[in-house]
Amino acid sequence: MLKVEGINVYYGNIQALKGVSLEVNKGEIVTLIGANGAGKSTLLKTISGLLKPKQGGILFENQGIGGKAAQGIVKMGISQVPEGRRVFANMSVEENLELGAFLRKDKAGIKEDFNKVYEIFPRLKERLKQQAGTLSGGEQQMLAMGRALMARPKLLLLDEPSMGLAPLLVKTIFRIITEINAAGTTILLVEQNAHMALSIANRAYVIETGRVVLSGSAQELHASEQVKMAYLGGH
């Protein structure tokens, strides 16, 4: 579904991604693990059109999207849940969700997706008219995910969904990610919590200083000594 081929991405003169290649197949959960500043978020931003690769290509369903405008990429079926949630604080929960569907014209489908989001996140339904800025961190994460789903994406990019959440909520968010995947959405997940990410993913890539240094099935990486030492606290 997604093919990233040897992309180089720069912030000014600093090279953030160095010849990164990866693939995501339809129906998979693929996770990117790596330390802070390794280039994981840069990669998601490049896929979603917020950054442009200097070299290399990105194909989504066999169409080149490297350098395409972000809005066009959303239209093609890629939605991103940004790091730090980024909800529209002064707007209600409902208005935030409506914004997720702003490129769509199919009223019946939008209504159907509202109901789906409320099924997945019953807590959002209880807080429809509440300002998004007054929600807890976990609720804001649910809203950011719900908003992305309102675009009816084929591929969902999740950037650090567990960041700053209490352990119990982290479990909830990961359970919901597997449910969204089981319902037919392919997922590319960037996550600091390597243990949780590998427990739900099909495959994984390890990124260090802008390069992919390891890749394989999630099980293989979970068992790898290198990954254990670096990302799983040695066990």
State whether 53 and 113 are in the same domain. Answer: no
CATH code at 66?
3.40.50.300
- Mind listing the pLDDT tens digit of every residue in the chain (235 residues)? 999 999 999 999 999 999 999 999 999 999 999 988 899 999 999 999 999 999 999 999 999 998 899 999 999 999 999 887 789 999 999 999 999 998 888 999 999 999 999 999 999 999 999 999 999 988 999 999 999 999 999 999 999 999 888 888 899 999 999 999 999 999 999 998 999 999 999 999 999 999 999 999 999 999 999 898 888 876 5
Taking the chain, what is the end-to-end CA distance rounded to the nearest angstrom? 33
Report in angstroms the alpha-carbon separations of 22 from 31, 142, 170, 232: 11, 27, 26, 22
Report in angstroms the alpha-carbon separations of 181 from 59, 106, 188, 189: 21, 23, 10, 11
Look at the chain and report how many structural domains it folds into: 2
State whether 174 and 227 are in the same domain. Answer: yes
Domain's final residue, options 123, 152, 181: 152
- Residue 208, SS3? strand
Do 155 and 187 form a contact (C-beta atoms < 8 A)? Answer: yes
pLDDT at 234: 62
- Neighbouring CB atoms inside 10 A of 229's CB total 11
State whether 125 and 214 are in the same domain. Answer: no
Q: Name the residue among 27, 34, 1 with its Cα closest to residue 212.
A: 34
Residue 82, in any domain of the structure? no
Radius of gyration of the chain (CA): 17
Token duo for residue 101: 């569907």
State whether 123 and 157 are in the same domain. Answer: no
**Pairing mode of beta strands 155-159, 78-81:** parallel
State whether 158 and 227 are in the same domain. Answer: yes
State whether 71 and 96 are in the same domain. Answer: no
State whether 135 and 208 are in the same domain. Answer: no
Q: Which domain holds residue 31?
A: 1-77+153-235
State whether 130 and 171 are in the same domain. Answer: no
**What is the Cα–Cα distance from 170 to 10, expressed in whole angstroms?**
32
The DSSP output letter for 132 is G
State whether 92 and 36 are in the same domain. Answer: no
Residue 33, in any domain of the structure? yes
- Residue 171, SS3? helix
State whether 171 and 146 are in the same domain. Answer: no
HEC letters along 47-65: HCCCCCCCEEEEEECCEEC
Enumerate the β-bridge partners of residue 213: none
Could you tell me where the DSSP H helices lie in 121-208? 122-126, 137-149, 167-182, 194-200
**What is the Cα–Cα distance from 58 to 2, expressed in whole angstroms?**
7
State whether 18 and 113 are in the same domain. Answer: no
